[in-house]
Structure 1
Amino acid sequence: MNEDGNWHPFDYQNFVELLDDPDAPCELFNKIYLRGGAKSMAQFWRKQREEGLNHVIINFKPTKRPIADCLADMEKYVFPEVNKD
């Protein structure tokens, strides 16, 4: 909700480096580069969702891990947490 009482969704994009350790702390650099473990990223995005976040565009370009591993972590840790009611 915004000051006018209406819901105003917001979105943005991040370069994401998903670390091997799902419990690694999440850090945001320069408001665009997010680095950390899947569990802490899930908490980061969950909090933002509660504040009105509508969607995030994720760019795994800086990630050194295989993309299949990153997507598996997203499916296991991030999506269930961010999408729960």
Structure 2
Amino acid sequence: MEFPAYGRRHDQRGELFRESLDYLTTALGENFPEIRSPFGTLHGADLLPKPTHQRVPVFITGTSRQSVEWIAENGDGWLFYTLPLEQQQLNIKRWRRLTADKGEPGWKPFNQATYLDLSEDPHEAASPIHQGFRVGREALVELMNGWQDAGVDQLMINFKQSTRPIAEVLDELAEYVVPLFPAGADPINH
């Protein structure tokens, strides 16, 4: 693993994540910051380019060995993996309790990362693959409606496990799936 290569213990990864996020936030948010850490020293230098808008949003992936309360307080959103819908609904409800409702101050998005292997058969039912589904486009639309109804704000699709050419999959999604989920649409009135 990479931890021994850097002289770190694997069981310290939660603490290392918090420290690294703090250093990155400082380096991005301050001009010529003074940072002294076990990772090194930043003195008389600056990290460029700086964000053109207030700051770079941070979406915590999974739990990064942190509590959901810590993620809600320190992240700008939560990116979680694909789980069975009932489990994901529980994650989303907890997230909403901790970050307020959509449109209210403090609201932070819940994002889901999903591996997709889009079948050539548009009618193929969903079957699980690692952190996602092999599925036809019609069942994909059903899954996406379920995720949207559950409160997923953004869906990030990973094609790493795709058995079809990606350009072909993107063309099919653009023609048959994406138009059903217009950007900025109110899911309640959709």
Structure 1 and Structure 2 fold alike (TM over 0.5): yes
Range 2-11 or range 71-80, more displaced? 2-11
Q: Mind listing any 5+ residue stretches in structure 2 that lack a counterpart?
A: 1-92, 103-107
**2:164 counterpart of 1:65:** yes
Q: Percent identity?
A: 24
TM-score (norm 2): 0.39
Higher RCO (CA < 8 A, seq sep 6+): 1
- Aligned partners of 1:26, 1:77: CA distance in 2, in Å? 17
> In the alignment, residue 119 of structure 2 is paired with which amino acid?
L
Q: 1:42 touches 1:77 (CA, 8 Å); kept in 2?
A: no
Aligned structure 1 segments of 4 or more residues deviating by more than 4 angstroms? 1-5
Q: CA-to-partner distance for each residue in 1:13-58, whole Å, 9 max, x for gaps?
A: 111111101111123346x121111121111111211221111111
Post-superposition offset of 1:76: 1.7
- Aligned partners of 2:132, 2:111: CA distance in 1, in Å? 15
TM-score (norm 1): 0.78
- Aligned partners of 2:147, 2:172: CA distance in 1, in Å? 20
Whose helix fraction is larger, Structure 1's or Structure 2's?
A: 2
> Aligned pair count?
84
Q: Please, what is the CA RMSD of the aligned residues?
A: 2.2
Whose strand fraction is larger, Structure 1's or Structure 2's?
A: 1
* Larger of the two Rg values belongs to structure: 2
Residue of structure 1 equivalent to 2:121: 21
